[in-house]
Structure 1
Amino acid sequence: MAVSTAEAVHVEPEDAPSARERLARAARHRVTLALAPGVLYLVVREVGLLVLRLMADRWDKEVTRALTSWDGQWFLGIAEGGYGNVPSWLADAFRRRTDETPLAFFPGYPALVRWVDGLPGIEAVDAAFTVSLVSGVFCAYGLHRLGQRVFGGSYKAGLYLVVLFAASPMAIVLSMTYSEATFCALAAWSLVGVVERRWVLAGLCCAAAGLVRPTAAALVLAVCAAALVAIVTKRDGARPWIGAAIAPLGLLGYLGYVAVRTGQWDGWFAVQQRGWDSRFDGGAATWRFALVVLGDPRSVLELATVWFLVVAIALVVLSVRRGLEWPLIVYGIGVLAMDLGSNGLMNSKARLLLPAFTLLIPAALALARRRTTTAVAVLAGVVVFSAWFGAYAITAWQYAI
């Protein structure tokens, strides 16, 4: 006997997933997507630390000592004793020390370390590593958000940007007791605020970044310039005014504090020049350094540093040609200009490029348009190189980074 259409009953195959199973799979998928930026960042950094352990054994160095070397000791000293009780053995580049020397280091990162150190059972070194680790993860999510929000961006581009940042040539400092991870996290979220026109977020994160590193000057420029355009075009009401007013407070506040402590309006710059011969010379010293190194390479690190600077300049051109949002270009150029224009320690220039992460966005977007296998192969090579170079910089290389 025939069964009419109205009477037909749809029977799912026995192996078809139930509604509950489908919901569970969807939930797991959402969790995976949410965790991916942080997990990728941690995996890349763990690869760097594994290679560091191998290099440390080769050069008979202790891993913890390598990860707390150079400026890391200053930050730990300030975190434990404040500016007035830094260990007496710490000195500037000329092996000198005055009461003003510790003021060369901004207070934001050591303040966070000191707060975490106040928790039961946590020592200063562990607190410093924790702050760097958590900051790096927060930065990863900020970068992923940027990779999605820029013109032509996508979820995949955001992930690739996270990997490129975590595998930057001197990304090893993200795992050290240095302030770069904390600064980059604040800068990334400040720029997210700019791109999404969330001006209070942009201003608050920018102000906080100004207490962490002097590189915040580039961030202040980008945030205030973007806010000014919004004000002139009468967009977003009073919020751009608020963001622009808040943004420079951290940087100006600390520079003002050092000016009062030293009795000089340019006190922080004077401390830098006296202690590390660091001042802005328009790039003359960098140019001389590049010519010497390219003409007669003296080390892998110095030669690589020059080429990293060349690549950074090429990335600026690529960002402009790609049509990257102009505040992100302004920020990247600002960071690069501060690095190129300073006559400070030439060996630090690769590290000082790390906050210029916006220049990596075009590369992330380009990789997102390639086959996944191609992108993974390229990124794997970058991760391996970064792991080796970072380990080399703090084990085989015997000078400050």
Structure 2
Amino acid sequence: MSATDAPVVAPAPTRVATRLAPAAVYLVVRLVGVLALVWLSRTHGVSPIDRLRAWDGDWMLAIAQYGYSGVPATMLDGYGHHTPFTALAFFPGYPMTITVVAPLLGGNTVAAALLVSLLAGIAAAYGTTRIGELVPGGSRRVGLLLTALFAAAPMAVTLNMAYTEALFCALAAWSLVGLLQRRWLLAGVMCGLAGLVRPTSEALVLTVVVAAIVAVATRRDGWRPLVGALLSVTGIAGYLIFVAVRTGDPAGWLTVQSSGWNGGVDGGAAGVRFIVATLTTRDAALMYYVSAIVLIGVLVLLGLSFAARLPLPLLVYGSAVVATVWLSSGVMASRPRLLLPAFVLLLPIALGLAKRRPATAVSVVVVAALASAWFGAYSLTIWRYAI
């Protein structure tokens, strides 16, 4: 073989930079958000750490420290009540992870929670980058843009909080990577673990099961799709069974959720009423305007995703996440956060930006990152209610 036929090997610094790029993009965007939170927290005389552990974070930390049975009676549900089953509304995956990590940090559960979210966010960044590479028309550039847009989503501040978003999105992203690569064990295991983190996993389970049915119907990959489908349901099914046994109610988790946290399914009526009221009220809060825009915008992104003919697993997953949010009632100010796992719907934007000049793509990401940073900081410091 002549010298001209020898494979081109990138210099070591270039290879390192390429491997670190997803983490770097994610961390830079999220650093902007954290700095904005520190700034507004000091402006309003509150601790940024306290804000990062607020609301649901307090429940996660209490479950991690005391277990479901030992959560202090001073912690109340959405109606100001506390029962032996109140804490069961929260899935165990994230608190369990905190419990594992905390001893490595001297038993500091807050530091453990924030570290878990940080590392999970980085893992999610590598997953979203890989998804951007695997879709038709995708590339490394598409993947990095998707990662940047995900990190700059309206409520991306929760990726740095003691919340489940970062961990769930990491598991969901890698489960979807497994489906796109037809690695059924990866898809099933990641989905099963996601089922222990939050109820949004029902959308991911549906995606894995539908993909498995298609694979079996087309006689692809033998028995592996069935194994992936079976693994996918283990997490959420296991926890729902646990709650049913614990409460003595076959629909125990749904009962706890509806009776304590105003959660239920209403076919989208609450969302429509909220949007109409927000857009026709003279003095609606900024938080409500943004939430209404996000609820409308995600439907536009869903339509663009179908128009872009994204792979079936991504369309099923994105549609299912949107359905779980749009068709349910509850606190409307939390909708931007609940839609964060629908990151695949940002792919049409990433694909479009990848075809533009680098300066255009960077400008869009910078504007999105700054807007996300301010809104996230506003949500935790100026807005007085839970997100």
Instruction: Specify if TM > 0.5.
Output: yes
2:285 — aligned with what?
A: 299
CA distance, structure 2, for counterparts of residue 379 and residue 130 of structure 1: 25
1:324 — aligned with what?
A: 310
2:184 — aligned with what?
A: 199
Instruction: Report how many residues are paired.
Output: 380
1:215 — aligned with what?
A: 200
More displaced 10-residue stretch of structure 1: 96-105 or 292-301: 292-301
Q: Deviations over 1:240-282 (max 9, x none)?
A: 0110111111011101111111111111010011111110111
The letter for the 2-side match of 1:280 is V
What displacement does 1:122 show? 4.3
1:189 — aligned with what?
A: 174
Q: Deviations over 1:51-96 (max 9, x none)?
A: 1111112222110111110000000000001101112221101110
Identity of aligned residues (%): 49
1:399 — aligned with what?
A: 385
2:373 — aligned with what?
A: 387
CA distance, structure 2, for counterparts of residue 357 and residue 216 of structure 1: 14
What displacement does 1:185 show? 0.2
8 Å CA contact retained: 2:41, 2:48: yes
The letter for the 2-side match of 1:309 is L
* SS in structure 1 of the partner of residue 310 of structure 2: coil
CA distance, structure 1, for counterparts of residue 379 and residue 327 of structure 2: 23
The letter for the 2-side match of 1:102 is A
8 Å CA contact retained: 2:354, 2:361: yes
* Structure 1 residue ranges (4+ consecutive) displaced by more than 6 angstroms after TM superposition: none
1:119 — aligned with what?
A: 104
1:361 — aligned with what?
A: 347
2:222 — aligned with what?
A: 237
The letter for the 1-side match of 2:238 is G
Q: What is the Cα-based RMSD across aligned positions, in Å?
A: 1.2
| Greater Rg over alpha carbons, structure | 1
2:71 — aligned with what?
A: 86
The letter for the 1-side match of 2:351 is L
The letter for the 1-side match of 2:296 is V
What displacement does 1:303 show? 0.6
CA distance, structure 2, for counterparts of residue 88 and residue 298 of structure 1: 34
CA distance, structure 1, for counterparts of residue 265 and residue 353 of structure 2: 36
CA distance, structure 1, for counterparts of residue 156 and residue 267 of structure 2: 26
* SS in structure 1 of the partner of residue 11 of structure 2: helix
Which one of 79, 82, 102 corresponds to residue 97 of structure 1? 82
2:93 — aligned with what?
A: 108
CA distance, structure 2, for counterparts of residue 306 and residue 127 of structure 1: 34
2:322 — aligned with what?
A: 336
2:4 — aligned with what?
A: none
8 Å CA contact retained: 2:22, 2:129: yes
8 Å CA contact retained: 2:152, 2:373: yes
CA distance, structure 2, for counterparts of residue 301 and residue 54 of structure 1: 19
1:171 — aligned with what?
A: 156
The letter for the 2-side match of 1:333 is S
TM norm structure 2: 0.97
CA distance, structure 2, for counterparts of residue 382 and residue 355 of structure 1: 17
1:315 — aligned with what?
A: 301
CA distance, structure 1, for counterparts of residue 109 and residue 270 of structure 2: 37
8 Å CA contact retained: 2:118, 2:160: yes
* SS in structure 2 of the partner of residue 151 of structure 1: coil
Which one of 276, 281, 284 corresponds to residue 261 of structure 2? 276
Which one of 249, 260, 271 corresponds to residue 245 of structure 2? 260
Which one of 45, 48, 55 corresponds to residue 70 of structure 1? 55
What displacement does 1:362 show? 1.0
List runs of 5+ in structure 1 lacking aligned partners.
1-21
TM norm structure 1: 0.93
What displacement does 1:125 show? 0.3
CA distance, structure 2, for counterparts of residue 362 and residue 198 of structure 1: 24
* SS in structure 2 of the partner of residue 119 of structure 1: helix
* SS in structure 1 of the partner of residue 293 of structure 2: helix
CA distance, structure 2, for counterparts of residue 191 and residue 346 of structure 1: 28
More displaced 10-residue stretch of structure 1: 215-224 or 50-59: 50-59
* SS in structure 2 of the partner of residue 362 of structure 1: helix
What displacement does 1:327 show? 1.2
CA distance, structure 2, for counterparts of residue 71 and residue 299 of structure 1: 22
